[in-house]
Amino acid sequence: MVKRYSRLLSPRLEAVLSFVEGRVLADIGTDHGYLPIVACLAEKIEYAIACDANAGPLERAAENILRYGLDDRIQARLGFGLRPIMPKEADCLVIAGMGGMNIIEILKDQESLLSLHSMKRLIIQPQRDIIKVRHTLDEMGFSFVDEVSVREKHRFYSVIAVNGMLHL
């Protein structure tokens, strides 16, 4: 059923979606909201929280969520990183399409650590600084599951899947 909706996703986001598992997805930096929309339509998850730090992209995501009739399954929330997510509210986290240093800042944000610790699966797709992101994930105690490289237009992107933290 994922194929039916995949026209909404770029090859990079299709790769991200392939690693999604769990009941509730938190999509950080959701932009247009298509990742949580397709994840819900394809029944990969039950519910999603689409977060963005900027009002414009979040409004676009909210419009798309309504267009697909998913406002009962996807909430759009404004805020930095995981701050809009309560601990244990989501079990799968996506941070994709932003710079590696921004991703590291989100992962290390002290106000979000309890929410981060409650995630069972993280899917990370940095636009740059991939080695620093890998090192941070390892340093923080995440268990690497898989990594794929995806070509989109004239660029390659790495998508990393990790499981929960080994130590708190």
Q: How many domains does the chain have?
A: 1
The predicted pLDDT at position 8 comes to 86
Q: Do 119 and 139 touch, CB atoms closer than 8 A?
A: no
Q: Quick check: pTM over 0.85?
A: yes
Is pLDDT at 166 greater than 70 in this prediction?
no
pLDDT at 1: 47
Write the pLDDT tens digit of every residue in 46-86. Answer: 999 999 999 999 999 999 999 999 999 999 999 999 999 99
Q: Does pLDDT of 157 surpass 70? A: yes
Note down the domain range covering 139.
Answer: 2-165
Give the Cα separation of 160 and 18 in Å (integer). 11
So what's the pLDDT on residue 168? 43
Q: What gap in Å lies between CA 27 and CA 52, rounded to an integer?
A: 8
Per-residue pLDDT tens digits for 92-122: 999 999 999 999 999 999 999 899 999 999 9
Cα(8)–Cα(116) distance, rounded to whole angstroms?
A: 28
Give the alpha-carbon dihedral of 26, 121, 124, 35, to 10 degrees. -40
3-state secondary structure the chain: CHHHHHHHCCHHHHHHHHHCCCCEEEEECCCCCHHHHHHHHCCCCCEEEEEECCHHHHHHHHHHHHHCCCCCCEEEEECCCCCCCCCCCCCEEEEEEECHHHHHHHHHCHHHHHHHHCCCEEEEEECCCHHHHHHHHHHCCEEEEEEEEEEECCEEEEEEEEEEECCC
- Provide the percentage of residues in the chain whose pLDDT is more than 90: 88
At 46 the pLDDT is 98
Mean residue pLDDT of the chain comes to 93
CATH of the domain at 142: 3.40.50.150
pLDDT at residue 146 tops 90: yes
130-140 pLDDT per residue, tens? 999 999 999 99
Q: Is the pLDDT of residue 142 over 50?
A: yes
Q: Is residue 105 a contact partner of residue 130, using CB atoms and an 8 Å limit?
A: no
